[in-house]
Amino acid sequence: MRTDLGTLRLGAFVHRRLIAPGALAASLMLAIPASAADYSPGAPGIGDPYYPAYGNGGYDVSHYDLRLKYQPESDKLEGTATLLATTTQDLSRFNLDFLLDVSEVRVNGAKASLTTSGEHELEITPKTPLPKGTAVTVVVRYSGVPSSKKAYGFTSWHRTPDGGVGANEPEAAWWWFPSNDHPLDKATYDVSVAVPDGTQAISNGTLQSATSRLGWTRYNWRSNKPQATYLATLAVGRFDVTTGTSESGIPIVNAYSKDLGDNYGAARASIERTGEIADWLTEYFGPYPFNALGGYVPNTTTGYALETQTRPFYSPRQFANGTNVSVVVHELAHQWYGDYVSVAGWKDIWVNEGFARYAQWLWSEHEGEGTAQEIADYVYASHPADDAFWTVKPGDPGPENQFHIAVYDRGALALQALRNEIGDEAFFAILKGWPKQYAHGNATVGDFLKYAEKVSGQPLAALFDTWLYQASKPSAPAARDASIASRSASTPAQPKSWKKIAATNDVHEHEHEDAPAREH
């Protein structure tokens, strides 16, 4: 972010040419309305066709500083959010995505006027307009009961017996901090949360400090790498916390709700392998991109898991049938595919989910429980040509099918087809090179196609079109040799790992079931 005064566009306020003294007053009077006309409100959405009201235009956030106080018994959250941003246009007004009650907003120290609109829009009008390129500090004071707020008929704040959790996709921030809520605007975070003694606050990144005073403990967490808003998380409750270090030297913090009951052992037996799995994934995806690892399991009634950056969220239900290492593989794979490199738009969800699913197939190979090709054969044979599975296009599934199983399984089939087409050497070079190519940024499905063609030296548009964009079953999986093609033509046996993989099928069934059909 630029903070120099040189970013102020003086030409918006005064003429640069010399004028006659007698015409000075009239000239200045004419200049003011003209300059005012140059300023306009930032768009109420960032431009995503799947979710037009998500995110906002006119500015880019570089850092969020959240200083919060949370009372588990009442679910009351009080906070002061400080956003550091830079304007991207001459800005008369701008929006934040938020649901709680706001008492005051200040922009560069001056009190701003505010109102609300739509389902989740906080409209802020600064005291003076903001020229393009201006460094802006926005302070928002707020309070409320997150679980009492809904947008589009649902909530992304989950009450637990001992607190609450903010975690969902594609939206979760609205319930606990004001933001520019879209992956295109990634930022760093400081999250400081005061909770009653005996209760913990879990968030992303590294724990900087925890201090107690007058019956309250304040936890200070820091995420020092760019992070999408939906990947920011907060969980307050009573946890058993374990700490350690991966073999590669990354500090690990895991947290398990004390009242997980019968799911406690299986959850812990799975998530305590986080360091081992992350180190294993570096063989395929390159160095781990962040300075913290972990996972947490609050006592929620949700069914999904989520790749919240550095510290994935897991629901207890993921471990109802025993250990579930495969879901840990999935969420940790997202640290590269989804977190380190984020979608440019929600239509690009395949560059997250197809790859995290394929990581589960690679883990199956690693465990000797079925190769990726054997799993691909089984998935392909399991869905007849008239199955609706094949009507979902992973490359552009539509918001109603964004987390459809086809995005995962057909998405992984596309990667196996790519692997067979270009060979292992080029394929694994792509898997490892892609995160580095778009490190801490955003990318599209089209970007991945271009990158795969560049690395492999082969035209791949037809293959990508067949597996990602056609609403029909391909005639046969791509295969490099006759034995694979022959096996694909028969009914393959179920791989040993399949039940474990299938147990994660609800990994991203984000719970909007109480919501009416949303039109985006």
Q: 17 to each of 5, 23, 34, 130, how far by Cα in Å?
A: 22, 13, 16, 24
pLDDT of residue 8: 29
pLDDT of residue 81: 99
| Coil/strand/helix, residue 440 | coil
Sign of dihedral through CA atoms 231, 236, 237, 240? Answer: positive
- In tens digits, the chain (520 residues) has pLDDT values of 433 333 323 233 233 333 334 444 444 444 444 366 699 999 999 999 999 999 999 999 999 999 999 999 999 999 999 999 999 999 999 999 999 999 999 999 999 999 999 999 999 999 999 999 999 999 999 999 999 999 999 999 999 999 999 999 999 999 999 999 999 999 999 999 999 999 999 999 999 999 999 999 999 999 999 999 999 999 999 999 999 999 999 999 999 999 999 999 999 999 999 999 999 999 999 999 999 999 999 999 999 999 999 999 999 999 999 999 999 999 999 999 999 999 999 999 999 999 999 999 999 999 999 999 999 999 999 999 999 999 999 999 999 999 999 999 999 999 999 999 999 999 999 999 999 999 999 999 999 999 999 999 999 999 999 999 999 999 875 455 444 444 545 689 999 999 989 988 877 665 554 443 333 2
Q: 328 to each of 264, 318, 411, 503, how far by Cα in Å?
A: 15, 10, 19, 12
Q: Model's pTM, two decimal places?
A: 0.90
Domains of the chain from N-terminus onward: 343-504 (1.10.390.10)
| Cα distance between residue 189 and residue 225, in whole Å | 8
pLDDT of residue 506: 74
pLDDT of residue 503: 87
Q: 14 to each of 10, 25, 26, 73, how far by Cα in Å?
A: 7, 12, 12, 57
Q: 401 to each of 50, 393, 394, 406, 423, how far by Cα in Å?
A: 11, 9, 9, 9, 31
Which residues, 6 or more positions from 453, have their beta carbon under 8 angstroms from its beta carbon? Answer: 459, 460, 461
Based on its alpha-carbon atoms, the radius of gyration of the chain, rounded to whole angstroms, reads: 25
pLDDT of residue 23: 43
pLDDT of residue 25: 42
| Coil/strand/helix, residue 62 | strand
